[in-house]
Amino acid sequence: MTQPTILLALPSAHARVDEVRNSSLELITLARSLGRVDVVTMGAPSTEVLALLGLYDVEAVHQAALPTAVPEEQQRVTSNLAAVMVAAARKVHADVLLLPNGFAFKEIGAVAALRLKAGLVTDAAGVRWDAPGVLHVAKRVFGGTWDTVAEVRTDPAVVTVQANTVVAEPVGVGVGGVGVGAGGAGIPRVEALLVDLPPCAVTVKSREVSRKDEGRPDLEEASVVVAGGRGVNGDFGPVEELADVLGGAVGATRDAVFEGWFDRYIGQTGVTVAPAVYVAAGISGMPHHVSGITGSGQILAVNNDSDAPIFEMSDFGVVGDLAAVLPQAAETIRAWRAGREG
């Protein structure tokens, strides 16, 4: 049987692709378990990026070449990015398209799926072949209370995958068996992907790329998240301090964001996270919020109300004032580290 071809989108904030997000490496690792892996980029990948993709056994990089008349911000309109995915899928005869699970990519996947007459599954927590041509996609639904498996038989299938679904793992050079050969020492070849854009009536008047939380991992893909709620009372300092000691990302509840204390929130209408450790500080644990964290490994809570619902779903909890508990926890970890090194 011929190897299925798995195509995935490699997001980049800038025109030049000079970094690969950890969530992309996870996606590639997952894709490799399904077949040979090709990636699509909007810009030119750097030498370092190509070397890294080689370590992950990527076969080829398809760099979209859009009509030059299309301005940069206009290229990122959903319809146009979907056109890129469709062109790539047709070019490589992709069996599966994998995309990250953010709101923007879900829409790109959705529009691409319609144009390809493909079945679409969002929020995947696992993907495998049940039989040749029969894709089984696992997904946790209803705030993490049910596990479902969706079956897609269309060719291709389109799937958006949650971060932290698999652990990113390179293959040893020459071990993977599929990527070797084509590009010499496992370096994927880069091919131009010609894209015809269908007419698009949406005009982008201005576009501002969201500021990333400097020096911290992306919230969606962090393996540690420390989040603050209304209980932080305007001061995210203790939350940020613990997050930084743990090398984690900072998150918030919608209420904390609506207060203007932080910019991004976790939950049904915000970001879904699935870190190994989630620390909820001054968060009551309302359903809209907790349905965005149920994929977490360990849930820890700090709240001064012993009846707060968050304790019912926590692996460990401290009833107390977060302004005292979090800095002490950060200090203890720093001291423990210093002790180990000293």
Q: Does 256 bind ligand FAD (CB under 6 A)?
A: yes
Q: DSSP per residue over 5-56, as a string?
A: EEEEE---SSSSB----HHHHHHHHHHHTTSEEEEEESSPBPHHHHHHHHHT
Residues 296-315: x where in contact with other proteins by CB under 8 A, - otherwise, as a string: --xxx-x---x----xxxxx
Selection from 185, 158, 146 nearest residue 86 by Cα: 158
Per partner kind, with CB cut-offs from 5 to 8 A, the member of ligand FAD, other proteins, none near residue 152 is: other proteins
Instruction: State the minimum distance, in angstroms, from the CB of residue 336 to other proteins.
Output: 6
Question: Coil, helix or strand for 331?
Answer: helix
Instruction: State the minimum distance, in angstroms, from the CB of residue 139 to ligand FAD.
Output: 6
Q: What angle do CA 219, 7, 52 make, to 5 degrees?
A: 65
Q: Does 91 bind other proteins (CB under 8 A)?
A: no
**What is the rounded radius of gyration, in angstroms, for the C-alpha atoms of the chain?**
21
Per partner kind, with CB cut-offs from 5 to 8 A, the member of other proteins, ligand FAD, none near residue 70 is: none
- Residue closer to ligand FAD (CB basis): 48 or 130: 130
- Bridge partners (DSSP) of residue 228 are 252, 281
Tokens of 35: 């077949």
Which 92-111 positions form the footprint of ligand FAD (CB under 6 A)?
A: none
Instruction: State the minimum distance, in angstroms, from the CB of residue 62 to other proteins.
Output: 21
Q: In which region does residue 101 sit, left (phi positive, over 0), alpha (psi from -120 to 50) or beta (all else)? A: alpha
Binding other proteins by CB under 8 A: which of 9, 84, 88, 121? 121
Binding other proteins by CB under 8 A: which of 47, 68, 142, 260? 142
Per partner kind, with CB cut-offs from 5 to 8 A, the member of ligand FAD, other proteins, none near residue 265 is: ligand FAD
- Residue closer to ligand FAD (CB basis): 248 or 251: 251
Q: Does 230 bind other proteins (CB under 8 A)?
A: no
Which 143-182 positions form the footprint of ligand FAD (CB under 6 A)?
A: 150
- Residue closer to other proteins (CB basis): 33 or 298: 298
Per partner kind, with CB cut-offs from 5 to 8 A, the member of other proteins, ligand FAD, none near residue 231 is: ligand FAD
Q: Does 303 bind ligand FAD (CB under 6 A)?
A: yes
Q: Does 126 bind other proteins (CB under 8 A)?
A: no
The Cα 40–Cα 49 span in angstroms is 13
Length of the chain: 342
Which 16-35 positions form the footprint of other proteins (CB under 8 A)?
A: none
Q: What is the DSSP letter of 136?
A: E
- Residue closer to other proteins (CB basis): 178 or 264: 264
Q: Does 255 bind ligand FAD (CB under 6 A)?
A: yes
Q: What angle do CA 48, 50, 51 make, to 5 degrees?
A: 65
Whether the Cβ atoms of residue 96 and residue 135 lie closer than 8 Å to each other: yes
Selection from 52, 7, 65 nearest residue 31 by Cα: 7
Binding ligand FAD by CB under 6 A: which of 5, 289, 295, 318? 289
The Cα 293–Cα 216 span in angstroms is 19
Whether the Cβ atoms of residue 276 and residue 224 lie closer than 8 Å to each other: yes
The Cα 5–Cα 104 span in angstroms is 24
Binding ligand FAD by CB under 6 A: which of 29, 223, 253, 296? 253
Binding site for ligand FAD (CB under 6 A): 120-122, 141, 150, 229-231, 253-256, 265-270, 282-284, 286, 288-289, 292, 302-305, 308, 321-323
